[in-house]
Copies of this chain bind each other. A is one copy, B any other.
Amino acid sequence: MKLATLRTGENSTTAALAVGTETYLPLPYSNVGTLLADSGWRKVVKAAVNAAPTGDGAVTASADCLAPLLPTAGKVICCGLNYGDHILEMGRDLPEYPTLFAKYADTLTGATDTIDVYGSERVDWEAELAVVVGSRLFQADESQAQAAIAGYTVANDVSMRDWQNRTLQWFQGKAFDATTPVGPVMLTSDEAGSSFEVKGYVNGELVQSGNTATLVFGPAQLLSYISQFTVLRPGDLVLTGTPGGVGMGMKPPRFLRDGDVLTTEIAGIGSLQNIVHIHQPGASESRTPAAATSTKE
Contact yes or no, B229 A102, CB < 8 A: no
Do A168 and B168 contact each other (CB < 8 Å), given the known contacts A74-B104, A175-B102? yes
The answer to the question of A177 belonging to the interface, with a C-beta cut-off of 8 Å to chain B, is yes
| Distance between Cα atoms of A170 and B100 in the complex (Å) | 8
Residues of B within 8 A of A104 (CB): 74-75, 102, 230
Contact yes or no, A230 B101, CB < 8 A: no
Contact yes or no, B96 A166, CB < 8 A: yes
Q: Residue of B at shortest CB range from A74?
A: B104
Contact yes or no, B167 A106, CB < 8 A: no
Residues of B within 8 A of A188 (CB): none
Residues of B within 8 A of A102 (CB): 101-104, 171, 175
Contact yes or no, B175 A80, CB < 8 A: no
> How far, in Å, is A142 (CB) from chain B's closest CB?
16
Contact yes or no, A229 B163, CB < 8 A: yes
Identify which of B163, B168, B230 contacts A106 (C-beta below 8 A). B230
The answer to the question of A119 belonging to the interface, with a C-beta cut-off of 8 Å to chain B, is yes
Do A231 and B175 contact each other (CB < 8 Å), given the known contacts A74-B104, A101-B169, A169-B101? no
State which residues 198-237 of A face B: CB under 8 Å: 226, 228-231
Copies in the complex: 2
> How far, in Å, is A197 (CB) from chain B's closest CB?
27
The answer to the question of A293 belonging to the interface, with a C-beta cut-off of 8 Å to chain B, is no
Contact yes or no, A172 B119, CB < 8 A: no
Do A230 and B97 contact each other (CB < 8 Å), given the known contacts A139-B118, A170-B169? no
The answer to the question of A99 belonging to the interface, with a C-beta cut-off of 8 Å to chain B, is yes
| Distance between Cα atoms of A74 and B73 in the complex (Å) | 11
The answer to the question of A23 belonging to the interface, with a C-beta cut-off of 8 Å to chain B, is no
Residues of B within 8 A of A95 (CB): 167
Contact yes or no, A176 B119, CB < 8 A: no
Which residues does A use to contact B, with CB under 8 Å?
74-75, 77, 80, 95-104, 106-107, 118-119, 138-139, 160, 163, 166-172, 175-177, 226, 228-231
Please list 20 pairs of residues, one from A and one from B, whose beta carbons are closer than 8 Å in the complex, sorted by A's number.
A74-B104, A74-B106, A75-B104, A77-B171, A97-B166, A99-B167, A99-B168, A99-B169, A100-B167, A100-B171, A101-B169, A107-B230, A118-B139, A118-B228, A138-B177, A160-B229, A163-B229, A176-B230, A177-B229, A177-B230
